[in-house]
Amino acid sequence: MAESHSKHILSIMVDNEPGVLARVVGLFSGRGYNIESLSVSEVDSDKFLSRVTVVTSGTKNIIDQIKAQVRKLIPVHNLIDITELKSFIGKELILMKLDIKQKTVLEVHKHIKNIGAKILFEDKTTIIIEFSGTPTEISGLIKKMKVYNIVELTRSGLVSMALGKDYIRR
């Protein structure tokens, strides 16, 4: 019987010190765990704390093991498994550059407006749009925009937060 794999969003508070990301990421690669998405940035400049959001998947045992291993890292203050909380939101940001040489500008603008994306920059040949949403919405957007020539795109990786009173303690 194959155990079922499930996706988990882990939110990890770490000391913002050199090498801390390497410790977290190295643990995943060294032990053969999967990282589907990763985002990290400082969230408290007084206490030098960064928040790392990792999306990973595995059986319950593997997820438990990942959590226990990450918690063992010395610069890790706290870890919560957002997916195990009652409810949460997860958002991602995407920037996309389109080649609009072949299309009418008006048509492109209309399309972007319908989708709900924001135009950050445009010139005669390219447009950069910004969109934030759930990973599914982002994938949907990419699919829809395929009618244009997507020159490049970049995604921030998922950031997530639990709803209500659940929050990660420092």
Summarize as ranges the residues that interact with another protein (CB under 8 A).
18-19, 22-23, 26-27, 30, 61, 64-65, 68-69, 71-74, 77
Residue number with CB closer to another protein (19 or 164):
19
Q: Cβ contacts of residue 112 below 8 Å, gap of 6+? A: 119, 127, 129
Residue number with CB closer to another protein (67 or 97):
67
Residue number with CB closer to another protein (65 or 126):
65
Specify whether the CB–CB gap between 73 and 125 falls below 8 A. Answer: no
Q: Cβ contacts of residue 5 below 8 Å, gap of 6+? A: 57, 58, 59
What's the min distance (Å) between Cβ of 33 and another protein? 13
| DSSP letter (8 states) at residue 103 | S
- Which is it for strands 49-58 and 149-155: parallel, antiparallel or unpaired? unpaired
What's the min distance (Å) between Cβ of 29 and another protein? 9
What's the min distance (Å) between Cβ of 82 and another protein? 20
What's the min distance (Å) between Cβ of 32 and another protein? 12
Phi, psi dihedral angles at 60 (to 5 degrees) = -60, -45
Residue number with CB closer to another protein (15 or 122):
15
Residue number with CB closer to another protein (33 or 131):
33
Phi, psi dihedral angles at 137 (to 5 degrees) = -60, -40
Specify whether the CB–CB gap between 170 and 16 falls below 8 A. Answer: no
What's the min distance (Å) between Cβ of 43 and another protein? 17
